[in-house]
Every structure is written in structure tokens, then in C-alpha cells.
């Protein structure tokens, strides 16, 4: 394609300053449209992937909460056991 057949149009978009209007090449609009379309497709793909994985993440969060609760109970039981063991050791040595 030769440069003679290419027609470049400029479109007035908005004023950059009070004295000078800004012009944007029509070809850049086509490029932006393609990029936006590609980004839209990528976003749609991510959303579709997340729909299937939501259940997995929700299950993971529920199991993590349950693990946290059980670890908390276990640490309290271990602390009570050690306190009781300390009382037995104090009684055996005759100290308080």
C-alpha cells in the first residue's frame, strides 16, 4: 500500500487549552477500539473462570475458618493442660 492512497482524517475532540484545539487521528480510534475489544474479551474470560472457582475459594475460606477455630481450642486445651501439669509439679516439689 502506498502512502498516496492513505487518507488521514483528523477529528476535533476537545480543547487542550483555550487557544489550541486538540486533534486525534481517526486511525488511533480504530486501534483503541481493537484494544478495548481485546481487553473486554480478556475481562470476560477472567469473569467466566472466576464463576467456576468461586465455590472452591468459598470452600477454602470455610475450611480455613474451621482450622482457625480448632487451633484456638487446641491452644486453650494445651494451656489448661500445662497449667494443671504445673500444679502437679508444684505439689510434688512442695512449692506454690
Q: What is the pLDDT of residue 50?
A: 79
Q: What is the pLDDT of residue 2?
A: 47
User: Please, what are the averages of pLDDT over each run of 10 residues along the chain (96 residues)?
Assistant: 50 53 66 82 84 86 95 95 94 82
- Distance from the Cα of residue 84 to its chain's centroid: 46
Please indicate, yes or no, if residue 2 is contained in any of the structural domains: no
Q: What is the pLDDT of residue 34?
A: 82
Please indicate, yes or no, if residue 3 is contained in any of the structural domains: no
Q: What is the pLDDT of residue 1?
A: 45
Q: What is the pLDDT of residue 32?
A: 79
Q: How many domains does the chain have?
A: 1
Handedness of CA 20, 25, 31, 32 (dihedral sign): positive
CA terminus-to-terminus distance, the chain: 98
Q: What is the pLDDT of residue 96?
A: 60
| Containing structural domain, residue 39 | 10-93
Amino acid at each position: 500500500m502506498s502512502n498516496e492512497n492513505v487518507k488521514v482524517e483528523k477529528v476535533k475532540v476537545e480543547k487542550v487549552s483555550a487557544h489550541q484545539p486538540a486533534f486525534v487521528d481517526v486511525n488511533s480510534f480504530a486501534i483503541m477500539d481493537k484494544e478495548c475489544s481485546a481487553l473486554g474479551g480478556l475481562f470476560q474470560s477472567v469473569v467466566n473462570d472466576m464463576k467456576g472457582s468461586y465455590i472452591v475459594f468459598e470452600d477454602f475460606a470455610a475450611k480455613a475458618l474451621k482450622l482457625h477455630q480448632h487451633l484456638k481450642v487446641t491452644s486453650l486445651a494445651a494451656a489448661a493442660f500445662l497449667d494443671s501439669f504445673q500444679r502437679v509439679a508444684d505439689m510434688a516439689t512442695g512449692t506454690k
